[in-house]
Amino acid sequence: MNNQSTPNWWKQLIRPILVLAPMADVTDCAFRRIIAKYGKPDVMFTEFVSADGLCCGGKERMLIDLKFDPSERPIVAQFFSANPEYMYRAALLAQELGFDGVDINMGCPDKKVCKQGSGAALIQNPALAKQIIRETKRGAGTLPVSVKTRLGYNKIEIDEWLPHLLEDEPAVITLHARTKKELSEVNAHWEVMTQASKMAESSATLIIGNGDVGNIREAQKLALETGLAGIMLGRAIFGNPWLFNRQLDISQISLEQKLSVLIEHTALFEKLLGGKKNFAVMKKHYQAYVSDFPGAKDLRIKLMECESAAEVSEQVNRFLDFQLNAPKNNLLMNYG
């Protein structure tokens, strides 16, 4: 699939559509390429990118956040801004770079983002939100434009908020099943999603749900129960690039396989992003890859001290050699 394909390719996807959530300093081009190799979702999103930054002198520095590989298609560029003109220009750029779609972030609860009037702050300014959708569509041309948002700002208010968005007919609305105020500190309100699905029945817009979904079996069940077109999964991808692999029993992945992919992921990060992103970004992944097995804590401590892919590879291989050769009752000993 490429950006010359049918304007609303979302409609052609088999339901439930399973989507990888955009997550800052997580779903970068290196991790997405690993995911595309081991367990590709139906749709991928970039990390969210500031349209203001792209338009106000930061373009060259920020283009790395819009780097992608054809193996990731369909790939959607996600932008945030409170400025319709900047969103128009960001959408034009998405066309130039060959993206398959453009997504508008209207759900980020970060204080700095909301202070700018963008992200979840747009829930409180539906007139501006609609103007942003229209200008993004104008810039996107034939690319489908989608919106990611929340159930409300301080309280659940989809009765008021969702109709505003539906009026301008984005291709997709992804609803995070919490309010801005709730952040991720309460359980997702999946009981509200059936209502959201019904509200969009007469619209051309697809509704996708997001929040606390741990695996694709749970995602498929929720989609069936709520009538949603699809489900977006986020935090469940940490340490598990096989998450969306329908043909694989994830419980059968060996420790050696998991740690081998950790090495591969680190090497790819260094190759694609070395010198452009801090190596410390990888360390949050190590917390997820290296857990729930004998000796994990010791290995994790050593990986947190590493500053290069070569050092990570050396530590992991030393650990595996030790585990292979040590008596089983000594596996909890420090391998270093």
Q: pLDDT at position 15, please?
A: 97
Would you list the DSSP string of 59-110?
Answer: HHHHGGGG---GGG-SEEEEEE-S-HHHHHHHHHHHHHHT-SEEEEEE----
Q: pLDDT at position 333, please?
A: 44
The count of C-alpha atoms lying within 13 angstroms of the C-alpha of 307, restricted to the half-sphere facing its C-beta, is: 1
| Cα–Cα dist 99/107, whole Å | 21
* pTM for the structure as a whole: 0.94
Asked whether 234 and 184 are in contact (CB, 8 A), the reply is no
Q: pLDDT at position 251, please?
A: 85
Q: Look up residue 190 and give its DSSP letter.
A: G
| Cα–Cα dist 291/4, whole Å | 43
| Cα–Cα dist 299/315, whole Å | 7
DSSP-assigned beta bridge partners for residue 107: none
Give catalytic status of residue 108 as yes or no.
yes
The count of C-alpha atoms lying within 13 angstroms of the C-alpha of 92, restricted to the half-sphere facing its C-beta, is: 11
| Cα–Cα dist 163/196, whole Å | 10
Please report, for residues 38, 49, 260, the alpha-carbon distance to residue 108 in angstroms, rounded to integers and kept in the order given.
28, 12, 34
- Which of 202, 189, 174, 191 has the alpha carbon at shortest distance from 226? 191
| Cα–Cα dist 57/22, whole Å | 24
| Cα–Cα dist 335/320, whole Å | 9
| Cα–Cα dist 270/45, whole Å | 21
Asked whether 254 and 39 are in contact (CB, 8 A), the reply is no
Which residue reads 């998991």 in tokens?
258
| Cα–Cα dist 149/156, whole Å | 12
What six digits make up the tokens of 284? 């949050």
Q: pLDDT at position 332, please?
A: 43
Q: pLDDT at position 169, please?
A: 97
The count of C-alpha atoms lying within 13 angstroms of the C-alpha of 195, restricted to the half-sphere facing its C-beta, is: 14
Active-site residue identified among 29, 108, 114, 306 = 108
Q: pLDDT at position 46, please?
A: 97
Q: Which residues of the chain have pLDDT under 50?
A: 1, 4, 329-333
Asked whether 153 and 180 are in contact (CB, 8 A), the reply is yes
Q: Are strands 75-80 and 44-50 parallel, antiparallel or unpaired?
A: parallel
- Which of 143, 124, 179 has the alpha carbon at shortest distance from 8? 143
| Cα–Cα dist 245/26, whole Å | 19
Q: Look up residue 274 and give its DSSP letter.
A: B
Total residues found in the chain within this entry: 336
Asked whether 64 and 273 are in contact (CB, 8 A), the reply is yes
Please report, for residues 40, 157, 161, 177, the alpha-carbon distance to residue 181 in angstroms, rounded to integers and kept in the order given.
32, 12, 15, 12
| Cα–Cα dist 53/217, whole Å | 39
